[in-house]
Structure 1
């Protein structure tokens, strides 16, 4: 009986010691999920849509998009649009770069989340973004950062199929790429 118990204790000790490397890997993997470790540095900053080089169903007058980090290490994406009708719209979302869902907010909705966003890296310069609204996938998008880090192209396909391709360039204060 004592031999059986000793064997069981040894087997459990061996099993738990085998978990130690897995726990270390999980901790290392958790550190990599922090967007500050995974997002390319060239993505950070403010980008302005080049309206003339982009394809929209209804082009806005101007569109800005920014990429920064939150205190929790998520990627914060904010956007501001001056529509063709002269109205402004704004919003933001914050996500990790591992497909974990984050919430998207529009200023018009206040503190009520508008949609769920998932951002997944494809490679060092390409990301897939999935937008879910009311439990259904509303759109998918591909974010592609150029090799030199000066152009960001977002190709978005909503459920309706009206695909848009928006070309962004780094925004410099006092230097607009849009025709105002």
Structure 2
């Protein structure tokens, strides 16, 4: 290919890329999503977890959150009600298995009402690989007394899988075992 034609093709690709860039709609997202969805995680800098799907691992009446292939598929059974991630009669909580070494806490699904609930806010985001518009979930509040606003979700390797953890905002104790992720909604069906 001639240098002139090559430069023209690169310029044309740049124009196409700039006109197809991810743009957020003006309409804000509701904290209620009644159509069932599934969740996958993104962190392109960590290929072993990037684009893997959240599954459930039963533990008594609770469901622990793990990455596929471990666990059982969620298959569009999650929904959001006033910021609460719901599955049947279970809701997402941020409690138990607190790790003082890195100040993180487990996220899991339960029907018990005495655990601090996790409130999530849907936000628009852009897929880091395709630049496609996507809906992400961010931690809005951990309903403790007093409530903790913000924080982030991460993944940690545990025996034969990866489990979901919560870190409070401005956590200076995070170690390399903490793998920060973005939660992305999608529909399987």
- Does TM-score exceed 0.5, indicating one fold? no
TM bin, normalised by shorter chain, reads: 0.3 to 0.5
Quick check: which one's helix share is greater? 1
Q: Which has the larger radius of gyration?
A: 1
Higher RCO (CA-CA < 8 Å; seq separation 6+): 2
Q: TM-score, normalised by structure 2?
A: 0.33
Q: TM-score, normalised by structure 1?
A: 0.34
